[in-house]
Copies of this chain bind each other. A is one copy, B any other.
Amino acid sequence: MNEKVKAIQSNSRSELRQLVRDQLQLLLEQGNLEGAKALLVPVQPVDIAEAIEALPQSMQVIAFRLLVKEEAIAVYEYLESTVQQALIEHFKQQEVREIVDQMSPDDRARLFDELPAKVVRRLLEQLSPEERQTTALLLGYEEDTAGRIMTPEYISLKETFTVGQTLERIRTLSTTSEIIYYLYVTDSSRHLSGIVSLKDLVLSSPETTLGEIMTRDLVYVNTDDDQEEVARIIQRYDLLAVPVVDREQRLVGVVTVDDVIDILQEEATEDIYALGGVQSDGDNYFQTDLFTVARKRVVWLLILLLTNTVTGTIIKSQVGLLEQMAILTAFIPLLTGTGGNVGAQSSTVVIRGLNTDDMRDLGPGQVVLRELGAGALLGLILGSLATVWAYGLQGNWLVSISVGISLVAIAILASVAGSALPFLFRALGLDPALMSAPFITTAVDVIGVLIYFSIARFMLGL
């Protein structure tokens, strides 16, 4: 019952969006611009953006021009970068001034990142001097840092201002600064000294000074901090925005929670793709063509194919043994498969742990030791079962015990490798996610067959 109700509700929402998309295209095809305009009035900007993206390219400009200025800016910020670029080519100078000049500086910096240098130069010339300077400032910071994703449009005030004065000031500044749930108090050299929330302001009497009500225990980030670090701080301290300071500790911008959610989502997708052996470049996998898909996947597959040929070569070198005892082959998939799975589990939890707060103060040594313990425990459980099954399959205790012992050894080795390699990669300055399930699985194959053949030879005296 509950499941059903849920399905209806979430269907109705996406059905509504679908309806807007279809209706918009129909009205535009009929040339009914007034109707199309009326259709979009109650629709949220992000949903309008989605509807425009779904239109044939020739209609996208027409639809976009139906929007009133304020809304056009909001919708433009939500469009995919390919559609943003296509629209820009049709923009007249006046539209550049009305749309691009008025965008949030962080969204504009993101757009400029994607555009060809020539287009960026032309657009920069057309921007107002302040906006040009703001954009240049943001683009001066490295990608994926706090400086690049922040907006420099915040409200900063002096400690001596009263609440009444501040409210006056907000009313004058509100046209240029969009975010005002936190107000920042700075001293004469622009150093951040306190934060006042809009709530504190509303709850205080007009003659109180900001110095009396501001919070002095500040949480802030530096322009060079990685965007993931920024996201983690906003998440940890339950903030709606975090101030960004430069190396001289001067306030230069603000990162807001809505941008941070998107960053966390993207990073999670990247991690998940890496764990599945798919490259991710921030583009939507499902919106790219088949050759791009193949390109994103073939690199890892080639690396893994190469590793697999090593396993094949090892097995070939043991052909003599296998000719004497072909039944040994029957246990190869079990041993390499189980070893791969144990290793994949260890690398998965460690990689996720490195990207979240979960590991707390556990060091690499402690984590690897824990995984070794878990691997031994799991190896003993699975090894005992495998020994019994192997005996049932072919009735030779020596072979069965070889399988069991190999499985214990492989499980221990796999969990140690799976947990240690991500740490090693991080220490080398590489992405730990590269040491993910597909790689560990395949690497364990190689070592697994070596261990198995050695133990079998020893046990069987061959």
Q: Mark A16-57, 1 if CB is under 8 A from B, else 0.
A: 001000000000000000000000001110100010001000
* Additional 9 contacts, C-beta under 8 A, given A5-B222, A298-B378, A304-B341: A6-B224, A6-B226, A46-B237, A261-B261, A291-B377, A294-B377, A297-B374, A304-B338, A332-B332
Smallest beta-carbon distance A290→chain B, Å: 5
Q: Tell me, yes or no, whether A349 is within 8 Å of chain B by CB.
A: yes
Q: Mark A355-387, 1 if CB is under 8 A from B, else 0.
A: 010111110000100100110011001100110
A-B contact pairs, 9 of them (CB 8 A): A6-B225, A9-B222, A18-B361, A264-B265, A298-B381, A300-B341, A308-B338, A315-B329, A332-B333
Smallest beta-carbon distance A313→chain B, Å: 7
Q: Tell me, yes or no, whether A139 is within 8 Å of chain B by CB.
A: no
When distances are taken between beta carbons in the complex, the residues of chain B under 8 Å from A393 are 309, 312-313, 316
Interface residue count on the A side (C-beta < 8 Å):
129
Smallest beta-carbon distance A80→chain B, Å: 11
A305–B342 Cα distance when bound, in Å, is 11
Given A142-B2, A341-B300, answer yes or no on A334-B319 (Cβ-Cβ < 8 Å): no
A340–B444 Cα distance when bound, in Å, is 14
Residues of A within 8 A of B (CB): 2-3, 5-6, 9-10, 18, 42-44, 46, 50, 54, 142, 167, 170-171, 174, 180-181, 198-199, 201-203, 217, 219, 222, 224-226, 229, 234-240, 257-258, 260-262, 264-265, 268-269, 271-273, 275-278, 284-287, 290-291, 293-294, 297-298, 300-302, 304-305, 307-309, 311-313, 315-316, 319, 322-323, 326-327, 329-334, 336-338, 340-342, 344-345, 347-349, 351-353, 356, 358-362, 367, 370, 373-374, 377-378, 381-382, 385-386, 389, 393-394, 429, 437-438, 441-442, 445, 449
A256 closest partner in B (C-beta): B238
Q: Quick one: which of B44, B313, B326, B327 contacts A237, CB cutoff 8 A? A: B44
When distances are taken between beta carbons in the complex, the residues of chain B under 8 Å from A349 are 273, 276, 278, 285-286
When distances are taken between beta carbons in the complex, the residues of chain B under 8 Å from A219 are 44
When distances are taken between beta carbons in the complex, the residues of chain B under 8 Å from A330 are 312-313, 315-316, 319
Given A202-B202, A311-B337, answer yes or no on A348-B275 (Cβ-Cβ < 8 Å): yes
When distances are taken between beta carbons in the complex, the residues of chain B under 8 Å from A374 are 290, 293-294, 297
When distances are taken between beta carbons in the complex, the residues of chain B under 8 Å from A342 are 297, 301
Smallest beta-carbon distance A426→chain B, Å: 11
A128–B239 Cα distance when bound, in Å, is 30
Is B202's CB under 8 angstroms from A167's CB? yes
When distances are taken between beta carbons in the complex, the residues of chain B under 8 Å from A2 are 142, 224
Is A203's CB under 8 angstroms from B261's CB? no
Smallest beta-carbon distance A443→chain B, Å: 11
When distances are taken between beta carbons in the complex, the residues of chain B under 8 Å from A348 are 272-273, 275-278
A360 closest partner in B (C-beta): B286
